[in-house]
Structure 1
Amino acid sequence: MLDERQAPRALGSLPPRRPRAATIGCYLLLGAGYLLGSLWLQRRALADPGGVLIGHVTADADMFAWWLNWLPFAMAHGENPLLTDWMHWPFGLNALWNTAVPLLGVLLAPVTVTAGSIAAFNVGVVLGPVVSGLLLVAALGPFVTSTGARGWIARGAAGALYAFSPFHLAHAVAGHLNLTWSVLPPLLLLLAHHLFGRGPVARPWLLGGLAGLAFAGQLVLYTQTLAIGVIVLVLTAVLLALRYPRRVRAQLPGLFRAGVACIGVFAVVGAYPLFLVLAGPNRPRSAIRNVHATGADLANVLVPTRMTALRLTPDVTGEQLRGHIGEQGGYLGLAMLALVVVAVVVVRSTVLRVLAAVAALTWLCSLGTGLVLFDRETGIPLPWLAFARVPLLSDVEPVRIQIITALCVAAVVAIWIDRMPLTSPGTRAGALALTGFALVSWLPADAQEVRPAPVPEFFTAGAGGLGPADVVEIYPRITAAWDDGAQGLRWQAASGPDFRMRGGYFIASDPDDDVVVQSRWNRYQIGAQWVADGKNDPSDGYAAEANAELRRLGITAVVMVPGRAVDGGDEDRVVDWTRRVTGDPGRFDGGAWLFRLPVAAPVG
């Protein structure tokens, strides 16, 4: 369906082959450049990669580190890597409903086993943009007509734009490991070329099978990106069918065969993960988020955050955008928008115009169900409202569709650099100036952050004799709160894990609640917070009730880590309260207090 009348070759054909060594050399050079850029941005983690976590916005970094630790542990101990009851015991967790990144758990397992899950997380955040950028470089091969230096400059610039786009910068500072690995969108670009290129689909069974493998891989990387990718692929097909209705009939047989192969391979390879998503245990029984509150802020398209180096607006303006900085990755800017518009008008390329149209549509979808401007609801409904009540799709956060917009913009820039007019000095100067301004406008700021990730020696030195039969209550309570709310997850992971936990930070359900997202309050934790806040000591009766509740919940020990309470407070009183509840004077060792208590029959 795509038509390149002005190109020297059709999109369905392949570019002339460059010598293999030269091609490999170009990829190595670009990969080294992207890696150096990523290392520079995250250099604050290099001095102590096992002692700090990249990102300083949410508790997600600790959660990712926990899951990276879980997969090799589970495989080494005969556990199911996609189900666990070592957190949220005894109900357990479904990895496919959590951002468990099993695929990255496998890829990063050597780092996890040798250097720990904190280091593995940091390595993953550094490598994610590099791999994503290189995949776009590869995917752009059929779209960039120049085979010399100009072609590689075009593809390399686009790969850098994608790798270090405002989207990736935002999610890196949020510690969103899964979203720094945006590998599916470039593969979808290449897939769209082979599916919708001019002429019948070549080798549809093979193509469909490879697409099925890619979708299955994304299923065990991050399901939201899979859903977004499929929606955008269908959207692109519809867009092309409306533009070229006479070519639809010729394409249908190949598309049908490729679709059958894709669905077949995906159903076989991804059967068990897909079962866990649709009908597996411990999945949430209702929507896990409010879809109406997860759209992008309209102002972000022109207002950058502190993650972008060149900002024409005051920093305080960026702070007025909806959401936290980790979800404010939709910046395009005037210079980049101008470049896209000029490219659409000047370059006679159907592919470029389709990419620009998809960029516009995905940007519109990323705004969510209603228009928001500087965090204010305008009451204007938007297209994503159609998905608000669709099962599963209603859990997609539309703000994260911005990754497709970033990909399309980067691809448009590649085609523009490849074909921009350089015939006259005036035209050349204008084209180069506009291109330079646009590229510079996306330069990342030196604003990536890390936060200390200390682990008390108690957990790294055997966890006081705790074992797999133990179920531990940790104080400070594990929550989704920023500023170390989920630090208990990294403590448990650092121990092996050697013990199970009742609480945690996760997405799940239990017999009483359709959705649970963090460790639950119990009388012990309520009393601990009460005394830490300086209030009167709970009564002996309440202490007895707290003891009975812990025993009923199956808790065999309480571990209290002083000096690590998120909200501070009088921790000496917390130690006394824990003694009253457990009946154990406790033992302080390796920076933590351990209190043992006998356990009754646990709750089912």
Structure 2
Amino acid sequence: MLDERHVRLPLPPAQRRGATAGWYVLLGTAYLLGSLWLQRRVLADPAGLLIGHVTADADMFAWWLNWFPFAVTHGENPLVTDWMHWPYGLNAMWNTAVPLLGLVLSPVTAAAGSTAAVNAGLVLGPVVSGLLLVAALGPWVGGTGRGWTARAAAGALYAFSPFHLAHAIAGHLNLTWSVLPPVLLLLAHHLFARGPLRRPWLLGALTGLALAGQLVLYTQTLAVGVIMLVLTAVVLALRFPGRVRAQLPGLVRAGLACVGVFLVLGAYPLYLVLAGPSRPRSAIRNVHATGGDLANLLVPTRLTALRPVPDGTGEHLSGHIGEQGGYVGIALLALVVVAVAVVRSTTLRVVAVVGLLSWVASLGTSVVVLGEYTQVPLPWLVFAEVPLLSEIEPVRIQVVTAMCVAVVVALWIDRMPLDTPATLVGAVSLTALALLSWLPADAQEVRPAPVPAFFAAGAAPLGPSDVAEIYPRITAAWDDGAQGLRWQAASGPAFRIRGGYFIASDPDDDVVLQSRWNRYQVGAQWVADGKNDPSDAYTAAARRELADLGVTAVVFVPGYAGGDEARALAWTRRVTGDPGTPDGGVLLFRLPASAPVG
């Protein structure tokens, strides 16, 4: 007679669903509390502080999160706009416009403003990403009673990985929502791991839907996801060559469905990427300078609590801290090696191989060690001259590496040998040390995000037909250069602006990240720096130039530019011929009437 102590009796479907839902609620709550603790500094004023203090990207995200609901409710095109970088405008698909998050976070934007929406997104992104990995591991993990523990640990590792910590402190909202890799992991199970495909058209359609969603979230992650999915298929084909013939017909049908759904749903965004207005006409970055640092594999940054290297070592890594998310560490590397050697699991070994390949790809086109470029070529060099793919920043492929590490840990916890006291102690000790090695440090940052009352009250004297020049000038400078975007967004936006922080082109430049200096802004900077007053001829030329650019008003915001603001203010009066009207902490200067915008 069977001993029921050794038999896993199936629960009734309702009980199983209830238990599963309970686990997701528990894990979602735990991950959310962890994310809130890391970002607790912003809770003091979610609408007046911004998470991250490495780049100006959070200000840019605040603009775009505000733009999407505004555009939809005001009959504007949410993917093309001239409300920034007037009159040339912007192509949202060449910017980190995150329209999908604009939709998801629109209730927060409507209730508390886009600054609060950015903060909410940076808190929630890792939580959602971690929960999706927990879901994706369902088919792979659960052969023992340790299944939910394994999935919970993997979800936490992924959610609070060095990759997500790095991009949170940089304000990279798009990269903290790393939802596509777990979704593709789940789809890979159905596409590659179950023999001849059942319902290939449906699977292909779901894959196309996932890719289309990522297209309007962040295009780089889409490209990386497709590359890694194809790479996974190649690894499996090399591992199981005898199964290729049986699998191929179903995969072809799934591929056709995937491409069809993706092209239908993504037709307009794809058009904007390939042939849309204001797209860059040359490379937007140097691909050879966007790889990860080899040393980052073993050298953590200050965002990791346990740092087994001398203090300050991480400061020598290439790039800035927001792109230094490739830390794995000795303990987790040891666990991966032991898991591959001990656990008899093809899945585990394939994931480890894909993780290794993704890590090599993340290093870019040549080896860099502690900031030193060795010129040793790497495989990513193949993509350096490929259109569109050359725009990928390979360092961001670290997200795939982080997920693969988390998956290996889950499979290890689920299947690690515990049959003797010695193996139990060894396995548990190694696992605990590995998990602790990714413990986040209490090092996330916030910065003030004030909005002058003029903008917060809706900038009533200005309307959609106005084009404003804001002083201080809006730039791509990381140190508060883009705060004017946040001000304009807070006003509604009520008016268009000449400046901005973006990726675009114009008639004079193949690639621009900020509007060109005009004579007014040059003169303002000149006098603020203590130089002699510009001549009357230059002043007249500055006035004509503003008129030619369609500028109808200058909004002078004191207290933010530095230098001699009194002289910059006097220069503004000379150029506009207007003494200026104080209003809500700014001075508004009207220019002579020009042709209306519209």
TM-score tier after normalising by the smaller chain length = over 0.9
Match of residue 313 from structure 2: 317
The reply on whether 1:444 has 2:420 as its aligned counterpart is no
Q: What whole-Å deviation, never above 9, does each CA across 1:343-396 have from its counterpart, x for those lacking one?
A: 000001001000000110000000000110111110100000000000000000
Q: Is 1:157–1:414's contact at 8 Å kept on the other side of the alignment?
A: yes
Match of residue 172 from structure 1: 168
Shift of residue 158, structure 1, vs aligned partner: 0.1
Shift of residue 15, structure 1, vs aligned partner: 12
Match of residue 3 from structure 2: none
Q: Is 2:466–2:597's contact at 8 Å kept on the other side of the alignment?
A: no
Q: Is 1:467–1:498's contact at 8 Å kept on the other side of the alignment?
A: yes
Match of residue 322 from structure 2: 326
**Cα RMSD for the two superposed structures:** 1.6
Matches of 1:233 and 1:226 in 2, distance apart?
Answer: 11
Match of residue 122 from structure 1: 119
The reply on whether 1:39 has 2:36 as its aligned counterpart is yes
Matches of 1:210 and 1:242 in 2, distance apart?
Answer: 26
The reply on whether 1:569 has 2:563 as its aligned counterpart is yes
Match of residue 386 from structure 1: 382
Shift of residue 464, structure 1, vs aligned partner: 4.7
The reply on whether 1:103 has 2:100 as its aligned counterpart is yes
SS in 1 for 2:468: strand
Report matched runs for 1:351-366 at 5 Å. Answer: 351-366=347-362
Q: Could you say if the C-alpha distance between residues 290 and 603 of structure 1 is closer, same or farther in structure 2, counting changes exceeding 3 Å?
A: farther
Is there any run of 5+ residues in structure 1 with no aligned partner, and where? Answer: 1-7, 9-13
Q: Could you say if the C-alpha distance between residues 556 and 384 of structure 1 is closer, same or farther in structure 2, counting changes exceeding 3 Å?
A: same
SS in 2 for 1:422: coil
Match of residue 465 from structure 1: 461
Q: Is 1:154–1:413's contact at 8 Å kept on the other side of the alignment?
A: yes
Q: What whole-Å deviation, never above 9, does each CA across 1:479-502 have from its counterpart, x for those lacking one?
A: 111221100000000000000001
Q: Is 1:552–1:599's contact at 8 Å kept on the other side of the alignment?
A: no
Match of residue 4 from structure 1: none
Is there any run of 5+ residues in structure 2 with no aligned partner, and where? Answer: 1-5
1:94 to 91, 95, 101: 91
Matches of 2:338 and 2:458 in 1, distance apart?
Answer: 63
Q: Is 2:216–2:269's contact at 8 Å kept on the other side of the alignment?
A: yes
Matches of 1:448 and 1:520 in 2, distance apart?
Answer: 34
Q: Is 2:134–2:154's contact at 8 Å kept on the other side of the alignment?
A: yes
Matches of 1:517 and 1:16 in 2, distance apart?
Answer: 58
Matches of 1:481 and 1:592 in 2, distance apart?
Answer: 22
Match of residue 272 from structure 2: 276
Match of residue 332 from structure 2: 336
Report the TM-score, using the length of structure 2 for normalisation: 0.97
2:534 to 538, 544, 560: 538
Specify the code of the residue in structure 2 equivalent to 1:591.
Answer: G
1:348 to 344, 361, 369: 344
Match of residue 508 from structure 1: 504
Matches of 1:147 and 1:203 in 2, distance apart?
Answer: 29
Shift of residue 192, structure 1, vs aligned partner: 1.0
Report the TM-score, using the length of structure 1 for normalisation: 0.96
Match of residue 152 from structure 2: 156
Shift of residue 462, structure 1, vs aligned partner: 3.2
Q: What whole-Å deviation, never above 9, does each CA across 1:82-108 have from its counterpart, x for those lacking one?
A: 111000111111111100000000000
Matches of 2:497 and 2:363 in 1, distance apart?
Answer: 38
Q: What whole-Å deviation, never above 9, does each CA across 1:127-183 have from its counterpart, x for those lacking one?
A: 0000000000000011113364x1000000000000000000000000000000000
The reply on whether 1:19 has 2:16 as its aligned counterpart is yes
The reply on whether 1:485 has 2:509 as its aligned counterpart is no
Matches of 1:16 and 1:53 in 2, distance apart?
Answer: 47
Match of residue 401 from structure 1: 397
SS in 1 for 2:165: helix
Matches of 2:474 and 2:300 in 1, distance apart?
Answer: 33
SS in 2 for 1:515: strand
Matches of 1:251 and 1:464 in 2, distance apart?
Answer: 63
Matches of 1:348 and 1:310 in 2, distance apart?
Answer: 31
Q: Could you say if the C-alpha distance between residues 440 and 590 of structure 1 is closer, same or farther in structure 2, counting changes exceeding 3 Å?
A: same
Specify the code of the residue in structure 2 equivalent to 1:77.
Answer: H
2:409 to 392, 409, 413: 413
Q: Is 2:181–2:403's contact at 8 Å kept on the other side of the alignment?
A: yes
Shift of residue 314, structure 1, vs aligned partner: 2.6
Specify the code of the residue in structure 2 equivalent to 1:597.
Answer: L
SS in 2 for 1:379: strand
Match of residue 3 from structure 1: none
Specify the code of the residue in structure 2 equivalent to 1:537.
Answer: D
The reply on whether 1:57 has 2:51 as its aligned counterpart is no
Specify the code of the residue in structure 1 equivalent to 2:532.
Answer: N
Shift of residue 540, structure 1, vs aligned partner: 1.2
1:560 to 556, 559, 568: 556
Q: Is 1:169–1:444's contact at 8 Å kept on the other side of the alignment?
A: yes
Shift of residue 199, structure 1, vs aligned partner: 1.2
Match of residue 517 from structure 1: 513
Farther off after superposition, 484-493 or 235-244 = 235-244
Matches of 2:142 and 2:463 in 1, distance apart?
Answer: 61
1:302 to 293, 298, 302: 298
2:283 to 274, 278, 287: 287
Q: Is 1:477–1:519's contact at 8 Å kept on the other side of the alignment?
A: no
Matches of 1:284 and 1:464 in 2, distance apart?
Answer: 34
SS in 2 for 1:25: helix
The reply on whether 1:595 has 2:589 as its aligned counterpart is yes
Farther off after superposition, 17-26 or 297-306 = 17-26
Matches of 1:24 and 1:197 in 2, distance apart?
Answer: 26
Shift of residue 274, structure 1, vs aligned partner: 1.1
1:222 to 208, 218, 232: 218
Shift of residue 16, structure 1, vs aligned partner: 10
Matches of 1:520 and 1:29 in 2, distance apart?
Answer: 51
Q: What whole-Å deviation, never above 9, does each CA across 1:410-429 have from its counterpart, x for those lacking one?
A: 00000000000000001110
Q: Is 2:359–2:401's contact at 8 Å kept on the other side of the alignment?
A: yes
Q: What whole-Å deviation, never above 9, does each CA across 1:277-321 have from its counterpart, x for those lacking one?
A: 111111111111110000001110000001000011133110111
Matches of 1:49 and 1:15 in 2, distance apart?
Answer: 44
Q: How many residues align?
A: 589
Matches of 2:413 and 2:394 in 1, distance apart?
Answer: 30
Match of residue 128 from structure 2: 131
1:252 to 242, 245, 248: 248
Matches of 1:160 and 1:429 in 2, distance apart?
Answer: 23
SS in 2 for 1:355: helix
Specify the code of the residue in structure 1 equivalent to 2:461.
Answer: G
Matches of 2:124 and 2:458 in 1, distance apart?
Answer: 32
Match of residue 582 from structure 1: 576
The reply on whether 1:496 has 2:492 as its aligned counterpart is yes
Matches of 1:48 and 1:319 in 2, distance apart?
Answer: 30
